[in-house]
Amino acid sequence: MSDGAAMIRVHNAADCCTITLVRPEKANALTESMLESLASAVIQTTAKVLILTAAGKVFSAGADLDGMKQGLGLSPAWETASGAIAAFPGLSIAALNGTLAGGAMGMALACDLRVAVPSAQFFYPVMRLGYRPQPSDPGRLAALVGPSRARMILLAGQRIDAETALAWGLIDRICAPEALTDTAMSLAADPGHVAALKRMTRGEVP
């Protein structure tokens, strides 16, 4: 299996860390080493803003198929990656350059905000493929779209488009592909009090 670090590009500029999945020839399908490299990059950054995006026209097709044959679906690396993003103290934004599928959904769900291009589609075919979602994914999904819609995606394998995802609350904004990075950056214009505000949105006293 290829080195995951070679398929994860990390760019730090000022107070922003941009992590890009760079495996477009495989629709950015995730390997265990990619998940480990991503988690490590998130944990190590001292930036106040984290932007997660991908190369090509698909954000991620989910798990690498060869990896699934070797037990990737049961790897703790999925929860380690999404947990690192969820624990990031600053503002985290998923800039979805295309379709988001399967286990890759967990990384986007763990972000504070999600923006997507009009062509993006969203689906999590765990039931159809005979797998279970990662433990934290159903709760995060239900918190965004509600229990019934979460069941539509997880249990019924519903594939939704960007407009539906926006209406359901799965994403927060739709923008043209050429404006994706700028849109994500515009949402992070004033990250100074993000940590305290994130605690307040969780019902915690800052």
For 153-168, how does the pLDDT look when each residue is reduced to its tens digit (9 = 90+)?
Answer: 999 999 999 999 999 9
CATH code at 4-201: 3.90.226.10
Strand 8-13 and strand 16-21: the pairing is antiparallel
pLDDT tens digits along 43-70: 999 999 999 999 999 999 999 988 888 8
Q: Residue 76 — very low, low, confident or very high, per pLDDT cuts 50/70/90?
A: very high
Tokens 């379709």 belong to which residue?
99
CA 105/CA 59 separation, integer angstroms:
10
> What is the phi/psi pair of residue 190, to 5°?
-135, 80
- Reduced to 3 states (helix: H, G, I; strand: E, B; else coil), residue 195 is helix
> What is the phi/psi pair of residue 167, to 5°?
-65, -35
In the chain, where are the structural domains located?
A: 4-201
**Which pLDDT belongs to residue 204?**
60
**Which pLDDT belongs to residue 3?**
65
Q: Is the pLDDT of residue 98 over 90?
A: yes
> Average pLDDT for residues 12-36, to the nearest whole number?
95
**Which pLDDT belongs to residue 1?**
40
Instruction: State the DSSP string of 78-107.
Output: HHHHHHHHHH-SSEEEEEE-SEEEGGGHHH
Tokens 């605690």 belong to which residue?
199
CA angle 76, 184, 104 (to 5 degrees): 25
Do the beta carbons of residue 126 and residue 102 sit within 8 Å?
A: yes
Q: Is the pLDDT of residue 191 over 70?
A: no
Burial of 24 (0-12, 13-18, 19+ CB in 10 A): middle
Cα–Cα separations (whole angstroms), residue 153 to 25, 68, 74, 89, 189: 26, 21, 20, 29, 32
Do the beta carbons of residue 127 and residue 184 sit within 8 Å?
A: no
- Reduced to 3 states (helix: H, G, I; strand: E, B; else coil), residue 160 is strand
**Radius of gyration of the CA atoms of the chain, in A:** 16
Looking from the CA of 53 toward its CB, the CA atoms found within 13 Å total: 22
Q: Is the pLDDT of residue 146 over 80?
A: yes
